[in-house]
Chain A
Amino acid sequence: MKTTICFRLNGEEMEIAVEPNLTLLDMLRERLHITSPKKSCDEGDCGACTVLLNGKAVNSCLVLALSVNGQEVMTLEGLGNAQNLHPLQKHFYEMGGSQCGYCTPGMIMAAKAFLDENPNPTEEEVKEGLSGNLCRCTGYIKPIKATLAAAKEINEGK
């Protein structure tokens, strides 16, 4: 049986009928065609499906779609676009923060939630902030540097 839920997705009101066992990740990817969150492990280990739920980073594979009723969801699509990149996107792009790019959307969303909470982090704190996002190809060096550079730019812009 489907239940209709209403929530805000990247600033836009959404209304959609969902099954009780549908995850937020599957709803985003399969129903709403928002494909930046990636379905990798589908059990909360890898962080590739990270999105923001009311500003907090969550593994969208572990959140039921029903539970976002009345809440606010943000994915990479809502963070910026090619004409207007968010500082995190800009620095990941310019500093080579991705290799294959599969984990990158989740990592950038995790970094966004982390920087919102800790705008002026040390390198060690950034490492902890990104530790829920597994990456096989970058070795994390450049994502960490890009996050630090984005923090600096965001702070200078204030």
Chain B
Amino acid sequence: MKRRGHGVAGCIYTATVPGAPNPEAANVQMNDDGSVQIQIGGVEIGQGCRTVICQIAAEALCIPFEKVRVYNSDTGVTPFDMLTASSRQTFVGGNAVLLACEQIKKVLFDSTAKKFEVPVEALDIKPGFIYIKDHPEACLPIEVAAILSYYVFRQLPIGVGQFYPFNTGQLDENMQGIPCATYSYQATIADVEVDTETGVVDVLKIYTALDCGRAINPLLLQGQMEGGAIMGLGWALREDSYPLMTRVEGVHPEFDPATRPTSFADYPIATAMDIPDIETAIVEVLQEEGPYGAKSAGEIVHNSAAPAIINAIYNAVGVRIWDLPASPDKILKGLKEKQQLEIA
């Protein structure tokens, strides 16, 4: 018999390394053609930090995204970065870049003010131009402002951003205090169908919602959320580090290296045929201290899918799985125990 169930789970996740000061630095420089290069430590491993850093700088300096280049992942050319972890790159890296961009903007405004012979306060910036607020027709292309800065007014449009999240790392001797600068929130709902004869769990649908502040790149974020949900599905149902291990009740399992999976055939991550429908919802609750209101995505997207699926299994057949993955043998064992309990 097949029985359906629904499960819910939620989680919070940090945007900074808990209990640490989280220093972050970025060198940003505008060249005399208005293009920009950024040196930042954050390592790009596919999470999208290069894209997001580019977008933040382009937005801050009102230049096209294509004009920004990021040099990262190489301690030979980048300023010191504490580490790429805790999903912190958008929050700390973005803020460091923003601070550096502010310094560049100040130089560009200063040069434009001298050129137009107006006070700096009279100027504003819009895509491609710096202009006089009261006379918007008096505007200077940003690359011209850069040229003037370099060759006429002799000040370099270069910024060094250093960012320390405002309140992290202030724990007392009992490790009490504020560990993290900010938190993202995520929730998953899973609909499953459990076959009570075979113990096989079929996930029918996953709903995943995330509040990571401003979604700087919603398409990238949605893809990350979908990937996280499937990663969670694998965690819940498929992936076992030691699948051939003998499980003895109440005894910590022996991790025998001989039974460790050595290929993707032994460690079956989900394929395109194993995935359910996924619905994503991005809930933007802007965080004042984040760059353009952003907090963190990344690791959080994967955290609550597995507990939601495990809860859905419990909802469907009343079997509580404590040891992932919830493979058919464990479900059948749970069903049998439940039956015996009911008879008794």
Q: Which of B47, B230, B272, B278 contacts A133 (CB 8 A)?
A: B272
A41 to chain B, nearest CB (A): 6
Q: Is the CB of B222 within 8 A of A100?
A: no
Q: Is the CB of B272 within 8 A of A46?
A: no
Q: Is the CB of B264 within 8 A of A144?
A: no
The number of chain B residues with a CB under 8 A from chain A is: 25
- Asked if A45 meets B264 with Cβ closer than 8 Å, knowing A99-B227, A138-B226, A141-B226, the reply is yes
Select from chain A the residue with minimum beta-carbon distance to B269.
Answer: A134
Known A99-B46, A139-B227; 18 more pairs at CB < 8 Å: A45-B264, A99-B47, A99-B223, A99-B224, A100-B45, A100-B47, A127-B275, A130-B272, A133-B271, A133-B272, A134-B264, A134-B269, A136-B227, A136-B269, A137-B46, A137-B223, A139-B226, A139-B230
Q: Which of A41, A126, A131, A141 contacts B271 (CB 8 A)?
A: A131
* Interface flags, B283-296, vs A, CB<8A=1, else 0: 00000000000000
- Give residues 35-92 of A contacting B (CB, 8 Å): 41, 43, 45-46
- Asked if A139 meets B264 with Cβ closer than 8 Å, knowing A96-B220, A131-B273, the reply is no
Q: Is the CB of B46 within 8 A of A102?
A: yes
- Give residues 117-139 of A contacting B (CB, 8 Å): 126-128, 130-139
The distance in angstroms between the C-alpha atoms of A126 and B275, with both chains bound, is: 12
Select from chain B the residue with minimum beta-carbon distance to A133.
Answer: B272
Q: Is the CB of A96 within 8 A of B272?
A: no
- Asked if A140 meets B263 with Cβ closer than 8 Å, knowing A96-B219, A96-B220, the reply is no
Select from chain A the residue with minimum beta-carbon distance to B267.
Answer: A45
Select from chain B the residue with minimum beta-carbon distance to A142.
Answer: B223
A130 to chain B, nearest CB (A): 4
A interface, over-half SS: loop
Q: Is the CB of A127 within 8 A of B272?
A: yes
Q: Is A143 an interface residue (CB 8 A)?
A: yes
Q: Which of B46, B230, B271 contacts A100 (CB 8 A)?
A: B46
Q: Is the CB of A144 within 8 A of B272?
A: yes
Interface residues of A (CB under 8 A from B): 41, 43, 45-46, 95-96, 99-102, 126-128, 130-144
The distance in angstroms between the C-alpha atoms of A138 and B45, with both chains bound, is: 14
Kindly list the 8 A-B residue pairs having the minimum CB-CB distance in the complex, ordered from nearest. A100-B46, A139-B230, A45-B264, A139-B226, A137-B227, A130-B272, A139-B227, A140-B272
The distance in angstroms between the C-alpha atoms of A100 and B270, with both chains bound, is: 17
B202 to chain A, nearest CB (A): 14
Select from chain A the residue with minimum beta-carbon distance to B218.
Answer: A96
- Asked if A137 meets B272 with Cβ closer than 8 Å, knowing A100-B46, A101-B46, the reply is no
A40 to chain B, nearest CB (A): 9
Q: Is B312 an interface residue (CB 8 A)?
A: no
The distance in angstroms between the C-alpha atoms of A8 and B118, with both chains bound, is: 66
The distance in angstroms between the C-alpha atoms of A131 and B269, with both chains bound, is: 11
The distance in angstroms between the C-alpha atoms of A138 and B226, with both chains bound, is: 6
- For B272, the chain A residues whose CB sits under 8 A away are 126-128, 130-131, 133, 135, 140, 143-144
B45 to chain A, nearest CB (A): 7
